Structure 1
Amino acid sequence: MSSVEETVEIAVPVRTAYNQWTQFASFPLFMRSVRKVEQIKPSLTSWTIAAGPLHGVFTAEIVEQEPDSRLVWRSLGRRPVHRGEVSFRPTARGGTRVTVRMDIAARGSAGLLAVVPGLAGRVVRGELRRFKEYIEGLGQESGAWRGAIREGRPRHAEPDRKVSGVPCWPVG
């Protein structure tokens, strides 16, 4: 198992950074390794990833989510085997410090991230940098899911926004 921790400071408030992070379907817009994310239910997502020779589909379960604070997930199934956490903390200048921590097993093709020294850190660092550029460029979030999840179960599952008067379930 390989562990990685990367942090980036973003010049938007915590609420804005957190709200955008909950919009998983937008990840392919700024993450190079993510091709598609489908929200199966509030605590379950399906990810299609590709980076160089690595590609695949996996399901991730959100096991804990606290608005404006943190989100904890784990992959389900056999590959890739990983778990992680992203936290959001205010900076003195009114921005946000986003920290991603991940543990990745050295199995299958995704195991390259775990066995090649420094590779996982470089990938996570690059994806965080692109998230920073994306949300700072937008200046505001494109949506939000303000619910909490404990032990994989949503505590609040009401639509957060409406589009043309129709409730819009958040993606994330």
Structure 2
Amino acid sequence: MSMVKESVDVAVPLHAAYNQWTLAEEFPRFMEGVDSVSRLDSRHNHWQTSIDGITREFDTEIVDQEPEELIAWRGMDGEAERKEVVTFRRLDPGHTRVTLAVDLRPAGPGEKAADVRGEVDRRVKGDLRRFKEYVEERARGRGGAG
């Protein structure tokens, strides 16, 4: 099992960072290997991913959500065991620290090999870097950090 925890400071207010993360349908814009995410209901999403030549579909369930503080979810695919928590901390009126913790038990030899190579760690770092670019660009496009 891999446990990865990374943070990134984004130049947007807390509500903007949190609200962007609640739009799961936009995850493919900044998450590597995520082809699509569709909302099934207020607590469940369906994911389609393609990572290292392995295509997978699975559902996730939001198990905890505190507005402008955290969102926690778990995978429900029966193969890979996955738990993720993203937290948001206001640094000042225009900056927020976003921390993503991923706890993953890979399924199958391909995913286990990717885990050993540090792919989960690399992917989390890259996803947060791309989230920073994405949310800041969207804020600039709206003419402010709003």
**TM-score surpassing 0.5?**
yes
- Listed as ranges, the gaps of 5+ residues in structure 2 are none
**More deviation in 20-29 or 86-95?**
86-95
The C-alpha deviation readout for 1:63-121, integer Å capped at 9, x for no partner, is 000110000111113123110100000114630100000111032243344333x3211
Per the normalisation by structure 2, the TM-score is 0.88
- Listed as ranges, the gaps of 5+ residues in structure 1 are 143-172
Amino acid aligned to 1:97: R
Measure, in 1, the Cα distance between the counterparts of 2:12 and 2:113: 34
2:111 alignment partner in structure 1? 110
- The 1:140/1:18 distance shift into structure 2, 3 A limit, reads farther
Q: Partner of 2:40: helix, strand, or coil?
A: strand
Per the normalisation by structure 1, the TM-score is 0.76
Measure, in 2, the Cα distance between the counterparts of 1:96 and 1:110: 32
User: How do residues 15-26 of structure 1 correspond to structure 2 at under 5 angstroms?
Assistant: 15-26=15-26
1:166 alignment partner in structure 2? none
Aligned residues: 141
Alpha carbons 1:39, 1:45 under 8 Å: kept: yes
Measure, in 1, the Cα distance between the counterparts of 2:56 and 2:140: 31
Query: Identity rate of aligned residues, in percent?
Result: 38
Measure, in 1, the Cα distance between the counterparts of 2:70 and 2:141: 17
Query: More helix per residue: 1 or 2?
Result: 2
Measure, in 2, the Cα distance between the counterparts of 1:141 and 1:7: 24
Amino acid aligned to 1:32: E
- The 1:140/1:42 distance shift into structure 2, 3 A limit, reads farther
1:14 alignment partner in structure 2? 14
Alpha carbons 2:13, 2:93 under 8 Å: kept: no
Query: How much is the aligned-residue C-alpha RMSD, in angstroms?
Result: 1.9
Amino acid aligned to 2:131: F
Deviation at 1:140, TM superposition (A): 7.2
The C-alpha deviation readout for 1:26-52, integer Å capped at 9, x for no partner, is 111222211000100110001011123
